[in-house]
Amino acid sequence: MDLVSILWNGLAAFLTLCIFSILYKDNPFYKLAEHLVVGVSAGYFAIILYYNSFLPKVWVPVFHEHKFYYLIPTILGVLMWTRFSRKWSWVSRYPIAAYMGIGMGVAIPLTMQAFIIVPLHATMQPMGFTSLSLFNNLLVALGVLCALIYFFFSKEHTGAFGGAATIGIWILMIGFGAGFGLTVMGRVSLLIERFTFLRDYFQQLIGLL
């Protein structure tokens, strides 16, 4: 580990401990790290946007390749900035309208296909009691139906409808429980990574000393 690496990793370890200090109580070190990350992430994103998006999509096509039709979306994009002016903010509606129209239009058939039709088709599988997979398909179909019934609040949840909604909420709770179980693993993974980094750094530092 060279000196530059020790210093950089030392800074990383210090900032990690600054964040962890909030577990005891709020303090200036935590606030320092919190505000620093906001600025650094904004600056990082600005540079990535410049090199990866602005230069290849705007600057080079217009000023080097002379594709002047790219000035149209460029002007539209610049019009977005009028959002900050009280007098001219209505002008920003044009680029927003273009984005929303295209984005929403594209989403309608694709969402219908990918999140309604295909899942419905996948739910309607051969069902029965003669094998485990057939029985599982039956459970899935009933589970999806009951959970969807639970979300139908236009009708009162009474009688048979209410019974199906009750089964639906049980199915949903199983889903949320599974999600929580996996969430614990997910959150702990991040903590393991940070502690591993701190262990490795301090072990190397002690080794050098």
- Positions 120 through 149 that interact with another protein (CB under 8 A): 120-123, 136, 139-140, 142-144, 147-148
Q: How far is the CB of 209 from another protein (least distance, A)?
A: 19
- Closer residue to another protein in complex, CB, 113/131: 113
Number of residues lying near another protein (CB under 8 A): 128
3 state SS for the chain:
CCHHHHHHHHHHHHHHHHHHHHHCCCCHHHHHHHHHHHHHHHHHHHHHHHHHHHHHHHHHHHHHCCCHHHHHHHHHHHHHHHHHCCCCHHHHHHHHHHHHHHHHHHHHHHHHHHHHHHHHHHHCCCCCCCCHHHHHHHHHHHHHHHHHHHCCCCCCCCHHHHHHHHHHHHHHHHHHHHHHHHHHHHHHHHHHHHHHHHHHHHHHHHHHC
Residues 36-95 that bind another protein (CB under 8 A): 36-58, 60-61, 70, 72-74, 76-78, 80-81, 83-84, 89-90, 92-95
Shortest CB 14 distance to another protein, Å: 9
Among 151, 155, 163, 202, binds another protein (CB under 8 A): 151
Instruction: Please identify which residue in 127, 134, 169, 205 interacts with another protein, judged by CB under 8 A.
Output: 169
Examine residue 176 and tell whether it contacts another protein (CB under 8 A).
yes
**Could you say which of 66, 129, 160, 184 contacts another protein (CB under 8 A)?**
184
